Amino acid sequence: MKKRMNFDHFQILRAIGKGSFGKVCIVQKRDTEKMYAMKYMNKQQCIERDEVRNVFRELEILQDIEHVFLVNLWYSFQDEEDMFMVVDLLLGGDLRYHLQQNVQFTEEAVKLYLCEMTLALDYLQSQHIIHRDIKPDNILLDEQGHAHLTDFNIATIIKDGERATALAGTKPYMAPEIFQSFVSGGTGYAFEVDWWSLGVTIFEVLRGWRPYDIHASNSVESLMQLFSTVSVQYCNSWHKDLISLLRKLLTVNPEHRFCSLAHMQTAPYLSDVNWDAVYEKKMEAGFVPNKGRLHCDPTFELEEMILESRPLHKKKKRLAKNRSRDNSKDSQSENDYLQECLEVVQQEFVIFNREKLKRRQEEGCMVGEGEGAEGEAEGEGDPDREAEEAEGGTEDEETEPEPETSKLSMCGSVCSSPGSS
């Protein structure tokens, strides 16, 4: 019987990034020699920081979607220490990195990003997903310069006319109705918020700064006043049709905002776009990252080797030592409570193998739905989504939790989040 996917199936090549509770490295799958990015999250830290649900939510969403302009999940697995997500490797860097490198993006280059992200958002909307964190940090370029959306850590699913209500996202990119919902309640918000964030992102990538001067320290009340009093200043040198389209995306009233592929296709600025060619990546990118360098902060590699207390390259020896130590000590200890939570995470974590799924599909052996987790789920947990703090680029995310009904709640305040207010 073939061994279940695990850490040993991959060779670790180098560290390339980190977030608030996850780190990313480049890996190579030993049997196929294919390259991927691997995000790994320490279980104990996730429990202590109340972030287990964020990981479970992201995995649950990514296992059910696949699109040419997303960073797609290929495998998920776990060991005693960590949870792992293996995804598409995009070597072109994120748009934030290139802005920090003072890249001057042309209108034509950004127009392609706009079209590619339009197709990505249209797909997510068809899957009932609100991303809630569209920003330059979460748009990665491949080696040809095409854009891919990543980080579904605070995404949520709404169906059948539902509305989201949590204060979730990165403040400078959050739509006015998110703040309005938080301040005065009301009907909440839906997919339109992602299109506002896309407008802010496109403006920033073109101009070098955002349309509104918003920071994490701004109060929600002050932002509500800002949106009602401050007008966006567009660059006079931009094409008038581009400005018109950005106005449609940055419309404060979501009912009048462009928020679909159909809307975008009516924009004069995009009238010459061959959308099939965009989808097939036949449109030449206006900016192609330098293939001779790795587009990330080189200090990540040094931190992993020098500062990391549990480096990946020493994992095998460390786990063997831990197992030996666990077998020799009294099972009753001050860490029993944490151990109970770790066991719940172990049980509810869902293993995924897209390679195996695709092989089954090609062989015509797929029967019904729900086999995406390769029949190897270690638990059928269906944790409800909530908005939590996510990895930040330039600003801190602010979030509010939503209701929960998972076995994770058995761990009380360590594993579960408080109910929504």
Q: Who has greater pLDDT, 1 or 335?
A: 335
pLDDT digits (tens, 9 = 90+) for 278-298: 999 999 999 999 887 666 665
> Which tokens hold the place of 96?
């934030």
Mean pLDDT confidence for 237-244: 97
Cα–Cα distance, 75 to 351 (Å, whole number): 7
Q: Are 200 and 232 in contact (CB under 8 A)?
A: no
Determine the residue type at 175: A
Stated as kind and residue range, the H or E segment containing 149 is strand 147-149
pLDDT score, position 183? 87
Lowest mean pLDDT among 108-112, 179-183, 236-240, 374-378: 374-378
With pLDDT > 90 as the criterion, what percentage of the chain qualifies? 60
pLDDT digits (tens, 9 = 90+) for 263-272: 999 999 999 9
pLDDT digits (tens, 9 = 90+) for 340-392: 888 988 989 989 999 999 988 888 754 555 554 444 444 433 333 334 333 33
pLDDT score, position 412? 46
Q: Who has greater pLDDT, 187 or 69?
A: 69
pLDDT band at 416 (very low <50, low <70, confident <90, very high): very low
DSSP letter at 78 equals E
With pLDDT > 70 as the criterion, what percentage of the chain qualifies? 75
* Predicted TM-score of the model (pTM): 0.82
Mean pLDDT confidence for 68-77: 97
Mean pLDDT confidence for 251-256: 96
Mean pLDDT confidence for 89-99: 94
pLDDT band at 420 (very low <50, low <70, confident <90, very high): very low
Q: Who has greater pLDDT, 17 or 32?
A: 32
Cα–Cα distance, 127 to 115 (Å, whole number): 19
Q: Are 26 and 88 in contact (CB under 8 A)?
A: no
pLDDT band at 106 (very low <50, low <70, confident <90, very high): very high
Q: Are 387 and 167 in contact (CB under 8 A)?
A: yes
pLDDT band at 320 (very low <50, low <70, confident <90, very high): low
- Residue 303 class from Cβ within 10 Å (0-12 exposed, 13-18 middle, 19+ buried)? middle
Cα–Cα distance, 290 to 92 (Å, whole number): 8
pLDDT at 40 over 50: yes
pLDDT score, position 71? 97
pLDDT band at 333 (very low <50, low <70, confident <90, very high): low
pLDDT score, position 394? 45
pLDDT at 331 over 60: no
pLDDT at 125 over 60: yes
Lowest mean pLDDT among 307-311, 314-318, 362-366: 307-311
Q: Are 179 and 224 in contact (CB under 8 A)?
A: yes
Average pLDDT, the chain: 83
pLDDT at 19 over 80: no
Candidates 1.10.390.10, 3.30.365.10, 1.20.1290.10, 1.10.510.10; CATH matching 95-279: 1.10.510.10
Residues whose CB is less than 8 angstroms from the CB of residue 70 and which lie 6 or more positions away in sequence, other chains included: 120, 123, 148, 149, 150
pLDDT digits (tens, 9 = 90+) for 350-364: 899 999 999 888 887
Determine the residue type at 215: H
Active site amino acids: 133
Using DSSP, state whether 7 is helix, strand or coil.
helix
pLDDT at 338 over 60: yes
Domain range summary for the chain, segments of one domain joined by +: 7-90+296-415, 95-279
Q: Who has greater pLDDT, 329 or 109?
A: 109
pLDDT band at 35 (very low <50, low <70, confident <90, very high): very high
pLDDT digits (tens, 9 = 90+) for 127-144: 999 999 999 999 999 999
Compute the Cα dihedral for 377, 382, 388, 392 and give only its sign: positive
pLDDT at 417 over 90: no
Cα–Cα distance, 394 to 94 (Å, whole number): 13
Judge: domain 7-90+296-415, CATH 3.30.200.20. yes
